[in-house]
Amino acid sequence: MSLEILNADIETCIEPFYKKRLSLIKSLVGNKVLDALLYMPTGIIETLEISTLSKELVNKNIIATVKVEFIEYAFFSKTRPITVTCSVGNTQVELLFFNYKPCYLKGTFDVGKIVKIVGKLSITHNGRYQIVNPKKATFKTKQGISNVYPLRTGITQYVVTSVINLALTKLCNTNITEWLPQEILDKYNFYSFCGSLLAIHKPQISNFSLLNNVYRQRLCFDEIFAEQLAIQISKAKRIKPIHASEIQKPSRELVKQLITTLPFKLTSEQLKAYNEITLDMSKTTPMHRLLQGDVGSGKTIIAILAMLHAIELGYQCAILAPTEILARQHLKLIQKYIDGTGVNISIITSNEKGRARKQILECVSSGITKILVGTHAIFNDKLAFKNLGLVVVDEQHRFGVGQRLALIEKGENPHILSMTATPIPRTTIMSMYGDIDTSSITQKPIGRKNIVTKAIGMDRIATLIEAIRRIIDKGQKVYWICPLIEDSEKLDYTCVIERFDYLFKHFNNEVDMLHGKMSTEEKRDVFDKFISGKTHVLVSTTVIEVGIDVSDATVIIIENAEKFGLAQLHQLRGRVGRSELQSYCMLLYDKSCSHVAKQRIKIMTQTNDGFIIAEEDLKLRGGGEVYGTKQSGHKQYKTFNITSAMEQELINEYIITSNRIAKLAVQNGSVELYENCLKIFKPEFHENVKLSF
Ligand code: ADP
Ligand code: MG
């Protein structure tokens, strides 16, 4: 059965008299018939036609025939309305028109006229009935229950509803075979896809709760299921890299050499993770593994070992970092470790330009470069590898799914190792990648001390000066973090400059600063001076948040700590405590901050454990929010929007169930049964990927 009709232009659902608004409608609802069907209401409204007013009708939308008694014009003002006093039978009602010019009302609301109006009835504290900005009822105004859809200027509820209604007629004229297995329909009491859409767009009962009903849940399941199907199909299509079978066991010379020269002993968990990775690489399907480990747990070295292993298998590797500073840090570190092995490494960021860039591209495409470190610049380039076999994605949550895929496509089904310091719930991982394998590092390297964390009021800032002096005298380093002021790069900059000036008075050239207005070269310069010990105090915004590793930095001072989220505070704190030296984190906060902010600061002073912090963060944020935030890496869905912990639980359940069915479908070769579901919920995927294997 073909669903072509759903891909037709939305124009086919627009009544002739709304045609002029085609482009507005498209910008609001979407381009296709399908988009209209999946345009979800955000509320519901019940309208009653009445002949007498009563208290029970307060807060309801009513249609009433009124007689205009008198009009009181205020000067046209934003605050004072025009008041039209009317009667409904023997009861008076005031119609308040805010932001109306008198001429708009003339002719309709003249004294003595009888008008049919529609609007929400309210009551004042002294018992007068009022309706604010009522509309004149038209032939289209009917009593009943109707949806409230998100709107934009120029598009009313009537327009949206009429488009959706036409789309529904088209849908119901096609005969869609059920794609969900009976088992699922029974388990969750789901109705058919068409039935559910009809119920959503033509609601029947007034207490119909929007997000908590089986109709909406069915669509939500469909959308998650389509996603899981797409993930499983892509996975099955990733066949074994050709070269792996040709190359026998690697010699492991490079790896052995590196391990013996390391200045430390790998922990047992690091070794376990490394072994899991190499085992994956010997299998017939490409690896996709997620390496989870708290900040400072030593993930980078595992990535380096994995890359050397891949090089011995004959591959090139790429390691992707979210910021240029981090990419350069990786480059330096890897260079240090592979020194003398003859492995060729290179970097690509937006700052490699002209001839240098051309040369890099050549070395990558000819296969001379074995390890390429890069930022986002890796994607938007004509960069081609000869034989890309392993992609490492550091701080994976900083990259979108699309970007990850783009890099994977540069190789022939390369192995992927994603690394994250933010603990991600299993179901979230599933919705992003399907059921991928994970390795976790829970221990810190041996000898690490807990970071001593103290909270102090902003008023005691001066006491820190002496402490910083002592740290500098010991040859250690200090980060001073100023808050990032949202939407204002200028203010961030001012914060940093002010703090720099203040500290400069005490420490002269020992202090340096880093902020968003600097060029990448300047930033790099500042950072190099800090690492090499030319400077000892670095005032910065949160640019240093991710992954920076300066082992003799032992103090981090976070100014206005109350403005940061828990996860971010933990990430920032992780910049110190990277050696056996005792480290400190000072949280400077404004004592008049909110209770929740104080709770966050308290948790930070109580624990160093990233997993506990993530849990507490969830509690403080009220559960549901995790999904909504960008930080969690979770994307938005079309048919639902998680707002409560209960909904989240339901979604988790759907993810697990649909993952199981999707896997089965791929195993049994029955994915074609679900083609319509993919067509509707994953149209781009359906267009680009052949379902047959
Ligand atoms: P993250 O997991 O946050 O990326 P890094 O890989 O940057 O952490 O490691 C943090 C620091 O710990 C680095 O300086 C690294 O050299 C060091 N390190 C890694 N593994 C060990 C270990 N087993 N023993 C001691 N130090 C280690
Ligand atoms: Mg790291």
Ligand nearest to the CA of 576: 1
Q: Is the pLDDT of residue 629 over 60?
A: no
Lowest mean pLDDT among 256-270, 498-512, 613-627: 613-627
Lowest mean pLDDT among 191-200, 371-380, 424-433, 580-589: 424-433
Strand partners, 588: 456
| Best-predicted range by mean pLDDT (38-47, 373-382, 633-642) | 38-47
Q: What is the pLDDT at residue 691?
A: 74
What is the average pLDDT score of the chain? 86
Kind and range of the H or E element at 480? strand 477-481
Q: For residue 248, what pLDDT band results from cuts at 50, 70 and 90?
A: low
Side-chain half-sphere CA neighbours of 386 within 13 A = 16
CB 303 within 8 A of CB 452: no
Phi and psi (nearest 5°) for 92?
A: -90, 150
CA distance 336 to 606: 37
Q: What percent of the chain has pLDDT over 90?
A: 48
Residue 494 CA, ligand 2 centroid: distance in Å: 29
Q: What is the pLDDT at residue 241?
A: 52
Ligand nearest to the CA of 294: 1
CB 685 within 8 A of CB 10: no
Q: Is the pLDDT of residue 178 over 80?
A: yes
Residue 552 CA, ligand 2 centroid: distance in Å: 16
| Radius of gyration, CA atoms only, the chain | 31
Q: What is the pLDDT at residue 611?
A: 78
Q: What is the pLDDT at residue 403?
A: 64
CA dihedral over 318, 319, 324, 329, signed as positive or negative: negative
Sequence-separated (6 or more) residues with CB below 8 Å from residue 275:
none
pLDDT tens digit sequence for 255-296: 888 888 888 899 999 999 999 999 998 887 888 899 998 888
Q: For residue 544, what pLDDT band results from cuts at 50, 70 and 90?
A: low
528-529-534 Cα angle (round to 5): 150
Q: For residue 1, what pLDDT band results from cuts at 50, 70 and 90?
A: very low
Pocket test for ligand 1, best of 258, 264, 333, 575 (most atoms within 8 A of CB): 264
Task: Name the residue with the closest Cα to ligand 1, atom 10.
Answer: 296
408: three-class secondary structure by DSSP? helix
Strand partners, 88: 91
Q: Which is more confidently placed, 204 or 7?
A: 7
pLDDT tens digit sequence for 405-433: 666 667 778 899 999 887 777 777 787 77
Tell me how long the chain is. 693
600: three-class secondary structure by DSSP? helix
CB 513 within 8 A of CB 526: yes
Q: For residue 303, what pLDDT band results from cuts at 50, 70 and 90?
A: very high
Q: What is the pLDDT at residue 628?
A: 32
Q: Which is more confidently placed, 78 or 202?
A: 202
Q: Which is more confidently placed, 437 or 544?
A: 437
CA distance 117 to 555: 68
CA dihedral over 10, 15, 18, 19, signed as positive or negative: positive
Closest to 329 measured CA to CA, from 49, 639, 578, 153: 578
Strands 511-514 and 537-540: parallel
Lowest mean pLDDT among 109-113, 204-208, 378-382: 204-208
Q: What is the pLDDT at residue 631?
A: 38
Q: Is the pLDDT of residue 170 over 50?
A: yes
Q: What is the pLDDT at residue 429?
A: 79
Q: Is the pLDDT of residue 689 over 90?
A: no
Phi and psi (nearest 5°) for 557?
A: -110, 125
CA distance 297 to 682: 38
Closest to 571 measured CA to CA, from 290, 270, 294: 294
Ligand nearest to the CA of 273: 1
Pocket of ligand 1 (CB under 6 A): 264-267, 270, 293, 295-301, 421, 445, 547, 549, 551, 578
Q: What is the pLDDT at residue 239?
A: 63
Q: What is the mean pLDDT of residues 503-518?
A: 90
Structure tokens at 37: 């069907």
Q: Is the pLDDT of residue 646 over 90?
A: no
Structure tokens at 516: 């968003």
Q: What is the pLDDT at residue 401?
A: 58
Residue 454 CA, ligand 1 centroid: distance in Å: 24
Q: What is the pLDDT at residue 360?
A: 94
Q: 450-483 b/e with 16+ CB inside 10 Å = b? A: ebebebbeeeeeeebeeebeebbeeebbbbbbbb
CA distance 244 to 250: 10
Residue 497 CA, ligand 2 centroid: distance in Å: 28
Pocket test for ligand 1, best of 300, 328, 442 (most atoms within 8 A of CB): 300
Q: What is the pLDDT at residue 408?
A: 66
Q: What percent of the chain has pLDDT over 70?
A: 89
CB 589 within 8 A of CB 459: no
Kind and range of the H or E element at 207? none
Ligand nearest to the CA of 578: 1
Q: What is the mean pLDDT of residues 17-21?
A: 91
Residue 302 CA, ligand 1 centroid: distance in Å: 9
476-478-483 Cα angle (round to 5): 170
CA distance 649 to 652: 5
| Best-predicted range by mean pLDDT (40-49, 129-138, 417-426) | 129-138
Ligand nearest to the CA of 322: 2
Strand partners, 416: 288, 391
Sequence-separated (6 or more) residues with CB below 8 Å from residue 107:
none
Residue 298 CA, ligand 2 centroid: distance in Å: 7
Structure tokens at 647: 């909904």
Residue 273 CA, ligand 2 centroid: distance in Å: 15
Q: What is the mean pLDDT of residues 236-241?
A: 67
Q: Is the pLDDT of residue 521 over 80?
A: yes
Q: For residue 334, what pLDDT band results from cuts at 50, 70 and 90?
A: very high
441-446-450 Cα angle (round to 5): 85
Strand partners, 457: 589
> Which atom belonging to ligand 1 lies closest to the Cα atom of 441?
2
Domains and CATH numbers, the chain: 43-144 (2.40.50.140), 246-441 (3.40.50.300), 452-607 (3.40.50.300)
Phi and psi (nearest 5°) for 380?
A: -90, 40
Q: What is the pLDDT at residue 397?
A: 66
Sheet holding 452-457, edge to edge: 452-457, 584-589, 553-558, 477-481, 537-540, 511-514
Task: Name the residue with the closest Cα to ligand 1, atom 23.
Answer: 266
Strands 114-123 and 61-72: antiparallel
Q: Is the pLDDT of residue 545 over 80?
A: no
Closest to 176 measured CA to CA, from 307, 334, 337, 5: 5
Structure tokens at 486: 């949202």
Strands 415-420 and 388-393: parallel
506-to-458, 469, 534 alpha-carbon distances in Å? 18, 9, 16
Task: Name the residue with the closest Cα to ligand 1, atom 20.
Answer: 298
Q: What is the pLDDT at residue 496?
A: 87
Residue 300 CA, ligand 1 centroid: distance in Å: 7
Residue 567 CA, ligand 1 centroid: distance in Å: 20
Q: Is the pLDDT of residue 55 over 50?
A: yes
pLDDT tens digit sequence for 78-131: 678 899 999 999 999 999 998 777 788 888 899 999 999 999 999 999 899 999
Q: What is the DSSP track for 460-473?
A: GTTHHHHHHHHHHH
Q: Is the pLDDT of residue 207 over 70?
A: no
Q: What is the pLDDT at residue 399?
A: 66
CB 577 within 8 A of CB 500: no
Q: What is the pLDDT at residue 567?
A: 81
Angle between helices 595-606 and 566-573 (to 10 degrees): 30
Write the secondary structure of 236-254 as one string of H (helix), E (strand) and C (coil): HHCCCCHHHHHCCCCCCHH
Pocket test for ligand 1, best of 297, 337, 583 (most atoms within 8 A of CB): 297
User: pTM for the complete prediction?
Assistant: 0.71
Q: What is the pLDDT at residue 211?
A: 54
Q: For residue 623, what pLDDT band results from cuts at 50, 70 and 90?
A: very low
Ligand nearest to the CA of 274: 1
Q: For residue 176, what pLDDT band results from cuts at 50, 70 and 90?
A: confident
Q: Is the pLDDT of residue 561 over 80?
A: yes
Residue 400 CA, ligand 1 centroid: distance in Å: 26
Q: What is the pLDDT at residue 417?
A: 94
CA distance 268 to 271: 5
Strands 316-320 and 371-374: parallel
Residues with CB under 5 A from ligand 2 (ion): 547
CA dihedral over 369, 370, 375, 376, signed as positive or negative: positive
Lowest mean pLDDT among 153-157, 170-174, 545-549, 592-596: 545-549
Q: What is the mean pLDDT of residues 334-358?
A: 90
Q: Is the pLDDT of residue 576 over 80?
A: yes
Sequence-separated (6 or more) residues with CB below 8 Å from residue 386:
316, 364, 365, 366, 367
